[in-house]
């Protein structure tokens, strides 16, 4: 692993343990086993780490989703697999998700979010297009548009549970929310088997 990757990995680890605010650059460099100054050869500031971290997370999410959604499954099964996968990633990595929002939102890096998310949009868009071709879902919207709305809806539903909510009954509310999200999506896409 080169120094830049090492910094990103260490930063994710330390941020997750201590929280973004309480993490100092010297914590990160200590964890990475490099000198203070070296950090600034690779990143101009602490927060400029965030797009790099966000990229790692989106790649992980996309990987999880691609693995979860079976090529051969029916569209409604794929939809369920997709929702389950998004919820699973959000459950496992909610601290990092929160961190990314904070980091991206608090800087001029907000605009990079769309670029980072682009592969995700693209992948969902192709799945949607296939569904439309098979006549499984309505064809009166462009796949790219539907992809953005599907991802936005599902992530926001997952965040409502894992980021913003208290943790009591999280399991129960998560499965409820998943069920509702799936139903909502099924209607929204005009699904007919």
Footprint on this chain of DNA (rule: CB under 7 A): 3, 23-26, 34-41, 44-46
Region near a second copy per CB under 8 A, out of 57-65, 71-79, 122-130, 155-163: 155-163
> Is-contact 47 75, C-beta < 8 A?
no
- Could you tell which of DNA, a second copy, none binds residue 141, using a CB distance below 5 to 8 A set by kind? a second copy
Residue 187 lies near a second copy (rule: CB under 8 A)? yes
What is the secondary structure of 67-115 as a DSSP string? HHS-TTS-HHHHHHHHHHHHHHHHHHTHHHHHHHHHHHHTSGGGGHHHH
The Cα–Cα gap between 57 and 130 comes to 26
What contacts 10, CB < 8 A, 6 or more positions away? 28, 29, 31, 32
Taking the complex as a whole, the smallest distance from the CB of residue 31 to DNA amounts, in Å, to 13
Taking the complex as a whole, the smallest distance from the CB of residue 56 to DNA amounts, in Å, to 20
- Could you tell which of a second copy, DNA, none binds residue 111, using a CB distance below 5 to 8 A set by kind? a second copy
Taking the complex as a whole, the smallest distance from the CB of residue 102 to a second copy amounts, in Å, to 3
The Cα–Cα gap between 52 and 14 comes to 15
Closest listed residue to residue 50, CA positions, set 106, 115, 119, 114 = 106
Contact set with a second copy (CB under 8 A):
19-21, 47, 98-99, 101-108, 110-111, 113-114, 138, 140-142, 145-146, 148-149, 152-153, 155-157, 159-160, 163-166, 176-177, 180-181, 183-185, 187-190
């Amino acid at each position: 692993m080169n120094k830049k990757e090492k910094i990103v990995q260490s930063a994710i680890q330390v941020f997750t343990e201590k929280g973004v605010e309480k993490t100092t650059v010297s914590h990160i460099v200590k964890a990475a086993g490099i000198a203070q100054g070296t950090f600034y050869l690779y990143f101009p500031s602490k927060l400029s780490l965030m797009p790099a971290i966000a990229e790692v997370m989106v790649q992980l999410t996309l990987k999880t989703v691609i693995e979860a959604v079976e090529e051969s499954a029916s569209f409604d099964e794929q939809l369920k697999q997709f929702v389950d996968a998004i919820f699973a990633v959000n459950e496992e990595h909610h601290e990092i998700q929160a961190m990314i929002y904070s980091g991206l939102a608090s800087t001029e890096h907000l605009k990079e979010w769309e670029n980072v998310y682009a592969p995700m949009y693209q992948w969902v868009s192709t799945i949607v297009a296939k569904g439309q071709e098979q006549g499984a879902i309505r064809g009166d919207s462009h796949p790219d548009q539907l992809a953005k709305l599907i991802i936005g809806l599902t992530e926001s539903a997952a965040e409502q549970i894992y980021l913003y909510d208290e943790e009591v009954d999280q399991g129960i509310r998560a499965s409820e929310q998943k069920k509702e999200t799936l139903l909502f999506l099924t209607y929204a896409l005009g699904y007919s088997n």
